[in-house]
Amino acid sequence: MKLNAFEGFLLVVGAAVLGGDFAQGAKNKFRLHDSPTFIGGVQPRHLEDPKLLSECAPNKEPETGVPAEFDGREAWKHCPSLWEIRDQGHCLSCWAVAIASTLTDRYCIHSNGTSNFRFSDQDLLGCGSKYTGWTSEICTGRGHRRLCAPFPLSGCQGGSIGAAWKYLTNSSLGLVSGGWYKSDYGCVSYKYPPCDHTKESCYKVGKVPKPECRRKCLTKYNGTYPLDKRAVTSACKFTYPADSNDTVYNNFVKKVQLEIMQKGPIIGAMRLYDSFQKFNPHDENELYKPSGDEKGDFFHAVKIIGWGIGHQNGTELPYWLVSNSFNYYWGNRGFFKIFRGKDVHVSAEINKHLSAGMPEVV
């Protein structure tokens, strides 16, 4: 049975986390809804633990209110990183790439464009994977012992966004700078080569080299590893309201929008459905909206940079403007729009898994 690119991506996710038995079984008969629970590149349920992250608290709403549309690329034209699309390659590093990319944007924004420090996703992948900040109290207290052991941040085998934020805020070291694959920019560049995420060859099942914690800058870089570090001072999450009341939901959305407007892009984890394999939006007006009855046990981390109102079959559809990590040739130059309606099942549950962090600008 020949797998398409998206199925190949899911196959790599399963093989990386569960091993060869899953990979062989998937090759024999790959069906998304047969996939075991919790084998994605992201572990979003860790965000639910209040002991890990506090609630995000944006500043007071301005008198002008929240606009119907907002694009961070236009709001912060002095920050070119908002236009950059990273490439995670065949590594399940979306969690690290999204975090590093978000921190890069916020560093530039809060330095008023005077600094374009590019946070290294590789530094988080390699050194963060040794983090064991989970305690038995947290794991058993939430009933997720299986999800906590042994390493929430396991590099190319996926990672926990909540644990990653905890690692960064607990560590006085933070992250160093770093560029693309084989780039001479920064202290520690990305280790994994880019690939065409529209082709199955990008997700060949095989052993992915384990990320190394390289506490040494590239030879050509004019700087040292300890001095290049930039700290992350805080991190927070957004708790999706259990109340289905429209007013409660609208207030939740406004809170998220204020955070983006005032502080910069945030992280979202979306559930991967079969329909996403057919979604490759070259037209900026295309919008991803799952049917609502699909099944999927995989999650993918992305960066949310804005919002707006789209139209589909004569109907207005609110959306989040998203930056992906599949390089520029995927989607609309690497970006896409995803429905942000109240029904989590037709928005790929992205509203349930939102978080953000703030770097210390020096």
Segment 232-275, tens digit of pLDDT: 999 999 999 987 789 999 999 999 999 999 999 999 999 988 88
Predicted local distance difference test score (pLDDT) of residue 283:
84
pLDDT in the model for residue 282: 84
At 40, the pLDDT band (50, 70, 90 cuts) reads: very low
Contact by Cβ (8 Å): 92, 62: no
* pLDDT, average across residues 333-345: 92
Predicted confidence at residue 172, as pLDDT, reads 67
Two tokens, residue 175: 């992250």
Per-residue pLDDT at 50:
56
0.75 cut: is pTM over it?
yes
Q: In the prediction, which pLDDT does 296 show?
A: 81
The strand pairing partners of 336, in sequence order, are 322
195 a catalytic residue? no
pLDDT for 144 beyond 50: no
Whole-number pLDDT of residue 143:
45
| Residue 68 clears pLDDT 60, i.e. is over it | yes
Q: Compute the distance between CA of residue 160 and CA of residue 148 in angstroms, rounded to an integer.
A: 9
Tell whether the model's pLDDT for residue 48 goes beyond 80. no
Question: Is the pLDDT score of 2 beyond 80?
Answer: no
pLDDT higher than threshold 60 for residue 44 = no
Q: What is the pLDDT of residues 161-190, one digit of tens each?
A: 888 898 899 866 789 999 999 999 999 999
Mean per-residue pLDDT for 216-228?
A: 94
Contact 9, 208 (CB under 8 A): no
Q: Mean pLDDT for the chain?
A: 81
313 C-beta neighbours (distance < 10 Å), count: 5
Residue 323 has pLDDT above 80, yes or no: yes
Catalytic residue among 46, 144, 197, 300, which?
Answer: 300
Structure token digits, residue 130: 């040794």
Structure token pair of residue 14: 């399963």
Structure-model confidence comparison of residues 323 and 52, the more confident one:
323
C-alpha separations of 298 from 14, 39, 51, 96, 112 in Å: 9, 6, 24, 16, 37
Which range of 112-121, 169-178, 280-289 scores highest in mean pLDDT? It is 112-121
Q: Which of 1-10, 140-149, 282-291 has the highest mean pLDDT?
A: 282-291
Write down the catalytic residue from 79, 94, 127, 195.
Answer: 94
CA distance 206 to 356: 32
Q: How far are the Cα atoms of 147, 160, 355 from residue 150, in angstroms, in the given order?
A: 8, 12, 23
Q: How many domains does the chain have?
A: 1
- 286 and 263 Cβ atoms separated by less than 8 Å: no
Q: Dihedral through CA 151, CA 200, CA 207, CA 215, nearest 10?
A: -60
Residue 287 pLDDT class (50, 70, 90 cuts): very high
Contact 129, 155 (CB under 8 A): yes
3-state secondary structure the chain: CCCCHHHHHHHHHHHHHHCHHHHHHHHHCCCHHHCCCCCCCECHHHHHCCCCCEECCCCCCCCCCCCCCEEHHHHCCCCHHHHCCCECCCCCCHHHHHHHHHHHHHHHHHCCCCCCCCECHHHHHHHHCCCCCCCHHHHHHHCCHHHHCCCCECHHHCECHHHHHHHHHHCCCCECECCCCCCCCCCCCCCCCCCCCCCHHHHCCCCCCCCCCCCCCCCCCCCCHHHHCECEEEEEEECCCCCCCHHHHHHHHHHHHHHHHHHCCEEEEEEECHHHHHCCCCCCCCCECCCCCCCCCEEEEEEEEEEEEEEECCEEEEEEEEECCECCCCCECCEEEEECCCCHHHCCCHHHCEEEEEECCC
Better-scored residue on pLDDT, 15 or 217 = 217
The single residue of 90, 127, 187, 324 carrying the catalytic annotation is 324
pLDDT at 116 over 60: yes
- On the question of pLDDT at 52 being above 80, the answer is no
What is the rounded distance in angstroms from the CA atom of residue 185 to the CA atom of residue 167? 25
d(CA 25, CA 243): 40
CA distance 106 to 259: 11
Distance CA 303, CA 305 (A): 6
Task: Tell me: pLDDT of 4 over 90.
Answer: no
127 is catalytic: no
CATH number for position 183: 3.90.70.10
Question: Does residue 94 carry a catalytic annotation?
Answer: yes
Residue 145 has pLDDT above 60, yes or no: no
Of the ranges 110-119, 199-208, 285-294, which is most confident? 110-119
Domain coverage including residue 310? 5-359
Quick one: pLDDT at residue 221? 94
Share of the chain above pLDDT 70, in %: 78
Residue 45 has pLDDT above 60, yes or no: no
Q: What pLDDT is recorded for position 47?
A: 57
